[in-house]
Amino acid sequence: MAFGIVHIIYAMNAAVMTLTFVIIFKKYLTEKNKLTLIFSLVILTYAVICTIFVGRGLFDANTAGSMLFQRLYVVTMPIIGISLATFIFYPIIIQRGGFKDGGAVTLLYTILWAVAFTTMFMLGTGEMTYQYSELAVDLYSITWGGLSYSQILSIMLVIGTTDIIGLAIMVYLESDPFFKTRALLLFVGWLMSVVGVVLVIIPGLLILNPVVFGLGGYIMAYGILRNPPQ
């Protein structure tokens, strides 16, 4: 079993995000607001990703079980990005429906879905290799066709980066101090989560992945769970 500090941090993050999901989903059951449901799915996916990573730690490295959980972990990654994109862009599409800029946002959103499906397919079917002998770290690589692991993850980062820009626009446009702070916390939290994913492909900084990714999750959870003024 390769369970270590990395998995403990991920387990803590999974617990926090699961609790956050329960609170938001209860709110959805009361108010039946579609946006609440969409955001609860973002948080649920976050919790699932963390839980899968914890599952990987239950197996020895470079075994079938470890590789299965690693593949599940990376395949699930685009789902959180596309769920967040839905939360950000769905109300804009509704708001600007019938206008040119609304059409542009719809096109962008459709492209993000295509990117999500493509990268999920590549990561789900690509060839997986264990890289300890080359890099001396507990790292897997997935290649697909002529594309390297870094190139596949770079394609996936299109979704994460678009979400970062969307959240930055939210921060800029919001005038109410409480909700501006909420948008800022979501922006910072998601930015850190994306940076955390990027760290996975930089062997020297790999150890920082759970800390940065986890901290990003905590910041998002804090932004969500703060009580708005009545």
Partner 1 sequence: MEFLEIHHNEGDIAMSVAKSQEIFVFCDIYKKNILLKIPEKGDAKRVGGLLAILSIHGNPKHESLFYLDANYRVRGCEYPAIIESETISTHPARLLAKKGLTLEQLVSCFGNKSKTAVSNFTKFIVQTLIRNNSYLIESDLINGDTVRDHIELLFSEQGISLTLIRREEEDKVTGIYPTVFDLESKKFLTEGVNLKIPYFENLVKDIMKEKDNFYSLQNELSKMIYSYTKLKEILSTTSSSIKDTELARDISIDLPVLTILTKMAENEGIDIKTKVEFNGIGRALRSF
Say if residue 210 is exposed, middle or buried (CB neighbours under 10 Å; 0-12, 13-18, 19+): buried
| 175 scored as a contact of partner 1 (CB under 8 A) | yes
**Candidate segments 123-131, 157-165, 173-181, 189-197, binder of partner 1 by CB under 8 A:** 173-181
Query: From the list 30, 60, 127, 146, which residue makes contact with partner 1 (rule: CB under 8 A)?
Result: 30
| 91 scored as a contact of partner 1 (CB under 8 A) | yes
Smallest distance from partner 1 to CB 86, Å: 10
Which are the contacts of 36, defined by CB distance < 8 A and separation ≥ 6?
24, 27, 28
| 24 scored as a contact of partner 1 (CB under 8 A) | yes
Q: How many CB atoms lie within 10 A of CB 85?
A: 24
| 133 scored as a contact of partner 1 (CB under 8 A) | no
Nearer to partner 1, 143 or 180 (CB): 180
CA 219 – CA 214 distance, rounded (Å): 9
Q: How many CB atoms lie within 10 A of CB 59?
A: 18
| 99 scored as a contact of partner 1 (CB under 8 A) | no
Size of the site for partner 1 (CB under 8 A): 32
**Candidate segments 2-10, 119-127, 170-178, 194-202, binder of partner 1 by CB under 8 A:** 170-178
In our burial notation (b when 16+ CB lie closer than 10 A, e otherwise), range 41-58 reads bbbbbbbbbbbbbbbbbe
Q: What are phi and psi of 40, to 5 degrees?
A: -65, -30
Nearer to partner 1, 42 or 201 (CB): 42
CA of 225: how far to CAs of 43, 84, 121, 230, in Å? 12, 17, 34, 14
| 179 scored as a contact of partner 1 (CB under 8 A) | yes
| 95 scored as a contact of partner 1 (CB under 8 A) | yes
Nearer to partner 1, 41 or 52 (CB): 41
| 83 scored as a contact of partner 1 (CB under 8 A) | no
Q: Which of residues 186-225 bind partner 1 (CB under 8 A)?
A: 224
Give the dihedral of Cα atoms 148, 152, 155, 157; nearest 10 deg. Answer: -110
CA 218 – CA 1 distance, rounded (Å): 27
**Residues near partner 1 (CB under 8 A):** 24, 27, 30-33, 35-36, 39-40, 87-88, 90-92, 94-96, 169-170, 173-176, 179, 182-183, 224, 227-230
